[in-house]
Amino acid sequence: MSGVPVLINLGAAGALFAIGLYCLIARSNLLKMVIGLELLGKGTSLLFVLGGYLAGDVGTSQAVVFTLIVVEAVVAAVALALVVLVKKAYLTLDVAALAAKVRRGEE
């Protein structure tokens, strides 16, 4: 692979990571935060594969990425289950409103 495709993949990984980080930091909706967490994981996965390709050891990097994908799926499932429970219990997904209800002791 020449330099241009490597830079494109690196840019894509950086963009996915940056968008995911923005979703985690700037958003107040729990569902959007879970989506941001998934985007962070996808950017990291792409970076691992690119690093393995550049190091000449694609097999090891693919094994790490497969493990990372399984861990991401479990984290996403647990996070979405918690989001559903929070929505049922507090009738909101907004973090600020949720914190205010928890401070007041509402349910």
Question: What is the domain-level CATH number for residue 70?
Answer: 1.10.287.3510
User: Which structural domain, as residue segments, surrounds residue 69?
Assistant: 3-104
pLDDT in tens, 71-93: 999 999 999 999 999 999 999 99
pTM score, whole prediction: 0.89
Question: Is the CB of residue 51 less than 8 Å from the CB of residue 68?
Answer: no
Q: What is the mean pLDDT of residues 62-67?
A: 95
- The pLDDT of 45-74, averaged and rounded, is 95
Q: How confident is the model at residue 107 (pLDDT cuts 50, 70, 90)?
A: low
Whole-number Å distance between alpha carbons of 90 and 19: 28
C-alpha–C-alpha distance, residues 23 and 104, integer Å: 27
Report how many domains make up the chain: 1
**Which residues are paired to 29 by β-bridges?**
94
**Helices within 27-57 (DSSP H only):** 30-55
Quote the percentage of the chain above a pLDDT of 70.
98
Reading the block at residue 106, the tokens are: 């509402």
pLDDT digits 0-9 by tens, 16-39: 999 999 999 998 999 999 999 999
When pLDDT is cut at 50, 70 and 90, the band that residue 106 belongs to is: confident
* Residue 77: both structure tokens together: 């499932």
